Structures are given as C-alpha cells and as structure tokens.
Structure 1
Amino acid sequence: MGLKAFFRDIYTTRRFILASALLFCISIAVGWLSTGAIQSMLAQQIKGLGTVAQRLQQSDHPQWSFFVFIFFNNAIKCVLVIFAGALLGIVPFIFLIVNGMVLGFVVHLQEDMGRSMYEIVVKGLLPHGVIELPVLIVACAFGMKFGMKTMSAIGSAIGLKRKRSGQTWEVFIKQTLTVSIWSVILLLVASAIESGITYRLLSH
C-alpha cells in the first residue's frame, strides 16, 4: 500500500494509462471544437456546475464549502470509476470522454469571454490540475483494465478464449485498492489547492 507500490502498479498499467491520456486529449479537442448537440450537452453540464458553485459561494465559509464539495465529488467519482470498470470498462471510458470534452469546452468558453490563456491555464488549471488530471487518467486506466480482465474472464469461461497465465485477480484487486487509496490522498491535496490557491488566484 506504500508509495513505491503505487508507482509500481502505475508502471504495470502504463499501456492503459497512455491510451487513457490519448483519449482524454482527443476529448479535450472535441470539446474545444464542439458545435450543435454536443455543445448544448456540454453547456448543460456547465450550467449545473455553475449553479452548485453559486450556492457554495453564498455559504458562510465559501472556501471550506468548495473544498468539501470538490474533494468528496472527485474522490467518490474516482473510486467509483475504477470499480465500475468491471462493467466491461464502459463507465471509465464514458467518464474520461465527458470530462475531457467539458474541460475543452470550458477553456474555449473562457477564452471567448476575453480571458487570456495564461489566466485560464496557469491560474485556473495548473495549480490543482497537475495532480487532479493525472489521477483522473490513472483511475480511468485501471477501470478500463478492470473491464478488459472481466471480458477476458467471460471469454475463458464460455470457451471463446484460452485461459492465459498472467496477473491474477488477487494481485489486480490489491493494485486497485492501492491506487484507490493513493488517488483519494492525492485528490485531498488537489482539492486543498483548488479551494485555496486557485480560488484566490481567480478572485483577483
């Protein structure tokens, strides 16, 4: 469960992580260039987040409210997306695409509103995003790996695929637990940065 084990588990899943990172980048580009139905869907997502942000801003302790909401929202979704990957990897796949498109759409929208890319990226995204985004990608990678292992097990059970010796389920589940714990810890740090440093930078 140590940090060394966490990095070792990441290394053993590097192909899925690279695939997730590529899919996330493509999704950002799609969100940036979105029009029509996709743009409407993303606008609804942003509207919902805007309503929540407004309510948190009006609380007695806005920064604390933002911290609690951001941490629990991200941590729960992150752990959920890993284990929901057991459903053939569909949930992490969709989660990665939607989050990538929302990010691309928001950045483009902010630029259209007159904000500089420096302010959007360096002030708004980089402080917490340097931790939060890699954690998101790693979580989705493990979720998709979970889906691949499930499909492989089903294939072996019905005789469509020969059972191969490789990473056992026991080892993989232990890896997912390690990754889940460290993801929550890292998201706690990212949430503190977003509700503290990012909040202050964008308030000036």
Structure 2
Amino acid sequence: MFYPSTFLRDLGSIRKTLAFVTFLFILGIAVGWYSTGALSELINQQMNGIREISNQLSLSSHPKWSFFVFIFFNNSIKAVLMIFLGLFIGVLPVLFLLVNGMVVGLLVHTSINHGESLFDLVVKGLLPHGIIEIPAIIIASAFGIQMGLLVLSSFGGSGKGELRARWREAFRKAVTASVWIVILLFVAAIIESTVTFTLMKG
C-alpha cells in the first residue's frame, strides 16, 4: 500500500487531474503577478502574516529548528487536509492551490519592483525547497479534487457494490498519497530550514 511504485501508479491514474491543477497553480501565479486593489490587499495580508511568523521564528534560540518544525507541520497538515476536504466537491483544494499560486506570483513581482534580484529570489529562495514542496502541494490538491469528483459521481447511477469499491479505492489512494506527501514535505522542510535559510541570510 505504501510502496513507492503504488504511489507512482496512483499518480498515473490521475494524470488529467494533475495537469489541471498544475494549470490552476500557474493561473494563480499569473493572477498574483497582475493583482491590484482588493485582491492585492488580500494576498498582501497573507504575506504579512507569513513575514510576521518568520520574524518571530528568526528570534528564537534555534531558528533553523524552529523554521523546520513550523514549515513541516504547517505544510503537512494543510496538504493532508486538502486531500480529505476535497470531499466538499473539491472546492477547497482548488481555492488552496489558487491562493498559493497567487502568493508566489505577488511575492516575486513585488520583490522585483523593489529592486531585488530575480535570480536570488527564485534560485536561492524558492528553487531549493520548492522543487519538492510545490509538486507535493499540487499532488495533494489533485487527490482532493479527485475526492470531490467521486462525491459528484456518487449521485449517478452506479450500483452500491461498484460505488463501495470506488470509495474504498479512493480512500486507499488518499491515505497512500498522504503518507508520501508528508515524506516529501519533510524533505522540503529540511531543505528550506537549512539550505534556503542559509542562502537567503547570506
């Protein structure tokens, strides 16, 4: 159930959904980049909250450890929740993905406008951990949307036996995905709290 091959096979079974959520994330980045007015203010509030937490963690006696614990648990809890909150017809994973993309888009755009190096921001600040963290978030959202699609399809004419088997398989996939997403986010948190932290401080 938890073999890497099982997880990869499950990913293969939702290829179309993965492509769709990847598009949503890119769309979120574009919206964040060009956002103005109330939307920009909303995203800025999200970013200010993140900055405030970051400043508090930086003042702790062991900042790298504090960053690791916060990043890992914050991302892992949200990612797993998005999988199972997809039961609400997939709306929350879609919103979660769009908001995350918008934050990235606005962050990069704002930083460039303030004269910061795009290379430093992307290569030092986002790429080291983001190459693992972003796919993990996209995968979690994809499985959440799959749960939502199953809820919608359950109102159709499938027989009880077939429907029960589909739900059993869906929850099995969700649990398998949750375990591997947490593992990926664990690795990403280590990188973000060490490599990214050191590069950005330097």
TM-score relative to the length of structure 1 = 0.94
1:81-92 equivalence runs, <5 A: 81-92=82-93
- CA displacement 1:87-126 (0-9 Å, x = unmatched): 1101101101111101100111111121111101111111
The equivalent residue for 1:191 is: 189
The equivalent residue for 1:159 is: none
1:23-38 equivalence runs, <5 A: 23-38=24-39
The equivalent residue for 1:179 is: 177
Counting matched residue pairs gives: 198
Out of 159, 163, 188, the residue aligned to residue 158 of structure 2 is: 163
Whole-Å separation in 2 of the counterparts to 1:3 and 1:113: 43
Runs of 4 or more off by more than 6 Å in structure 1? none
1:109-128 equivalence runs, <5 A: 109-128=110-129
Letter in 2 for 1:69: F
Secondary structure of the equivalent of 1:18?
helix
Letter in 1 for 2:158: K
1:133-144 equivalence runs, <5 A: 133-144=134-145
Secondary structure of the equivalent of 1:60?
coil
Identical-pair percentage? 44
Gaps of 5+ in 2: none
Whole-Å separation in 2 of the counterparts to 1:179 and 1:168: 16
Letter in 2 for 1:196: T
Gaps of 5+ in 1: 157-161
* RMSD between aligned residues: 1.2
Q: Return the offset for 1:171.
A: 1.2
The equivalent residue for 2:77 is: 76
Q: Return the offset for 1:135.
A: 0.5
Whole-Å separation in 2 of the counterparts to 1:57 and 1:48: 14
The equivalent residue for 1:41 is: 42
TM-score relative to the length of structure 2 = 0.95
